[in-house]
A and B are shown apart, each in its own frame.
Chain A
Amino acid sequence: MLLRWRKTVNYIMLGLTGVCTVLAVSALFVILAYLLYFGGKSLDWNFFTKLPAPPGESGGGMANAIVGSLEILGLAGLIGIPVGFLAGVYLSEFEDKAFAALVRYTADLLNGVPSIIVGILAWALVVVPMKTFSALAGAIALSVMLIPIVTRQTEQFLREVPMALREGALALGANKWKMIATVVVPAGSKGVLTGMILGMARIAGEAAPLLFTALNNQFWARGLRQPTATLPYMIFYKAGAPYEDWHREAWAAGLVLITMVLVANILARMVLARGISVPRG
């Protein structure tokens, strides 16, 4: 009797864990279904070619926000990827125990800093001296978020390169920097590239650091020293307004943004990093 009771408890509790898993995974599908349905309904060619329309007028697009997002992301990548990559190489290859541990720990802390606070940093460093919101400030905010991600991922993937490869290069007479440049980095390149793509995908969706750095713009930004529209900011701005047309545009922007982010994630994790376990940032 007791055994039967224990077995019943066993099945019920294990069944409940299965229910938890189904609930968790179904959240993804519910989100994707909503975005595909409402976003797909509102997405048209105007979205990619026209400027935002004032409330009450339909047929507006987000051409400037798409270009602005790409511009800021590109600039953030140009700053963040080299810094993060070389810092990661340092952590994996030139380990001075104490200093490396300090850098590693600090990178993890920086990774956990709320994105809105990174926005305050870029505001104080760039917006205040330049006296204007700008694409440059937005890019610097995003690069600050990108650096710790790329650092830690580069380090972890370079560490997975077998010691024997390093020893082989050294035994053939290569000195250390040559060993790193011609053996270690190429051997770990797939993983390192995965880390960079995941980092870019992560900052692509960030709106909070852009709120008071890049701000927004209803028109084309002329140059990097002007307020610039981005997709995440546009979603926040349009979804919060009380106009039906704007809500449709927000859905469309959401669909475009999530497609970019998920495609980058799936490509990086499944195609590029097949068989490598991806550490979480």
Chain B
Amino acid sequence: MATQTAVLERTAVRKTAQTGDTVARLVALTFASVVLLIVAVLVFELWVGSAAARHKLGWSFLFSSDWDPVTEKFGAAPFMYGTVVTSVLALLISVPLGVGAAVFLSELAPASISNALTFLIELLAAIPSVIYGMLALFTLVPLMRNYGEPFLKKSFGFLPLFRGPAFGVGFLTAGMILAVMSFPFIISVSREALLAVPRDQREASLALGATRWETTSQVVVPYARLGILGSIFLGLARALGETMAVTMVIGNDPSIHASLFAPGYTIAAVIANEFTEATGSVYPAALVELGLVLFCITIVINALARILILATTSKGSKRP
């Protein structure tokens, strides 16, 4: 009798325990599903919100370069152009700088110094973008207007890229500030990819008589190339979607110019500036559609970056 009650009690305890586990699992699962729900709602809202513009303008929206809210003519081309030009300029500066610094931090600097410097560089990534924008507006813009752009015009004025009046605000300044904002990502992710390169690869190369630099450039960097590429895509995604800093220095001119000194516009900047004042049905829908375009671009770039970073770090840890 006594044993029977004990057994019954034990099964009861086990049962409550099991229900407890099921409940805990369900709660956690529900909250994990919230993440999926948010992205689903985001895509839904962007799609529905842009419906009016998509129906009225169709595919020509992507290729037209008109932007006139009064006559309800909208085209994404100048904004896509500005987004791409500023991001490419940013990468031209931040990739050599970032990969160079990552090589120094992983190959040359002693671990303690490398960690301290990486800490400082990661603090740089924590600075709010509106502060980058303010600094650029108050310091970089006058510098570029008075010294940087006149100098470039004098030295490289034969190229159409460096012609025209120097405003200070424009593609070049926006690209420079984006470079500063994207290299912390490139440095810290590239450094990790370089650190994941097995030690014997370096030793083998050095033993064959290669110098430190030859080892780095011909063995270590090629070994970590996917991770470095991933870090570049990560920096690119950040530059493409960056809003505040660019909005403050891009000059807000929805037209396509060959000159890098000219003021322009980016997708994120036009949404930031015009969204609250957009009236009617097509104008806000056109801005939401620009958001949809930007969303698709950054999703693709980010997905590529994640895959590349995952590929190198797992490869590095598997091979001893």
Among B64-72, B153-161, B182-190, the one that faces the other chain is B182-190
Contacts A6-B214, A17-B108 given; does A103 touch B134 at CB 8 Å:
no
A51 CB–B CB distance under 8 Å: no
A9 CB–B CB distance under 8 Å: yes
* Residue of A93, A201, A236 with most chain B CB atoms under a 10 A cut-off: A236
Kindly list chain A residues whose C-beta atoms are within 8 Å of the C-beta of B149. Answer: none
Give CA–CA (A139, B124) in the complex, Å: 25
Contact with B along A45-79 (1 / 0, CB 8 A): 00000000000000000000000000000000000
Contact B134 A112 (CB under 8 A): no
B258-295 interface (Cβ within 8 A of A): 268, 271-272, 275-276, 288, 291, 294-295
Contact B241 A115 (CB under 8 A): yes
- Interface SS, A side: helix
Give CA–CA (A114, B244) in the complex, Å: 11
B128 to chain A, nearest CB (A): 2
A25 CB–B CB distance under 8 Å: yes
A213-256 interface (Cβ within 8 A of B): 215, 232, 235-236, 239-240, 247, 250-251, 254
Contact B241 A14 (CB under 8 A): no
B21 CB–A CB distance under 8 Å: yes
Give CA–CA (A171, B135) in the complex, Å: 58
Kindly list chain A residues whose C-beta atoms are within 8 Å of the C-beta of B276. Answer: 211-212, 215
A selection of 27 A-B contacts at a CB cut-off of 8 Å is A10-B211, A17-B100, A20-B104, A21-B109, A24-B187, A83-B34, A87-B28, A90-B31, A93-B28, A94-B25, A109-B299, A110-B38, A110-B39, A116-B294, A121-B42, A121-B45, A123-B275, A204-B128, A205-B130, A205-B131, A208-B272, A232-B130, A239-B248, A240-B248, A261-B128, A265-B126, A280-B189
Contact A116 B272 (CB under 8 A): yes
Contact B104 A236 (CB under 8 A): no
Contact A207 B302 (CB under 8 A): no
A-B contact sample (14 more), CB < 8 A, given A103-B35, A115-B243, A177-B20: A17-B108, A21-B105, A90-B32, A100-B32, A106-B36, A110-B38, A110-B42, A117-B42, A147-B35, A198-B126, A202-B126, A208-B272, A211-B275, A239-B133
A70 to chain B, nearest CB (A): 16
A272 CB–B CB distance under 8 Å: no
Kindly list chain A residues whose C-beta atoms are within 8 Å of the C-beta of B142. Answer: none
Give CA–CA (A204, B131) in the complex, Å: 12
Give CA–CA (A201, B126) in the complex, Å: 8
B60 CB–A CB distance under 8 Å: no
Give CA–CA (A151, B32) in the complex, Å: 8
Number of A-B contacts (CB under 8 A): 264
Q: 10 shortest A-B CB distances, which residue pairs?
A: A205-B128, A114-B241, A20-B100, A177-B24, A90-B28, A112-B302, A86-B31, A17-B104, A208-B243, A175-B17
- Interface SS, B side: helix
Contacts A20-B100, A93-B28, A177-B20 given; does A108 touch B302 at CB 8 Å:
yes
Instruction: Give the interface of B toward A (CB within 8 A).
Output: 17-18, 20-21, 23-25, 27-36, 38-39, 41-42, 45-46, 49, 96-98, 100-101, 103-105, 107-109, 117, 119-135, 137-139, 180, 183-185, 187-189, 211-214, 216-217, 237, 240-244, 247-248, 268, 271-272, 275-276, 288, 291, 294-295, 298-299, 302-303, 306
Contact B42 A17 (CB under 8 A): no
Kindly list chain A residues whose C-beta atoms are within 8 Å of the C-beta of B33. Answer: 103
Kindly list chain B residues whose C-beta atoms are within 8 Å of the C-beta of A236. Answer: 130, 133-134, 244, 247-248
Contact B128 A262 (CB under 8 A): no
* Residue of B45, B127, B132 with most chain A CB atoms under a 10 A cut-off: B127
A41 CB–B CB distance under 8 Å: no
Contact A180 B100 (CB under 8 A): no
Contacts A13-B213, A103-B36, A117-B294 given; does A124 touch B45 at CB 8 Å:
yes
Contacts A20-B96, A212-B276, A261-B128 given; does A6 touch B211 at CB 8 Å:
yes
Contact A211 B35 (CB under 8 A): no
Contact of B214 among A10, A27, A35, A105 (CB under 8 A): A10
Kindly list chain A residues whose C-beta atoms are within 8 Å of the C-beta of B120. Answer: 25, 28
Give CA–CA (A207, B273) in the complex, Å: 12
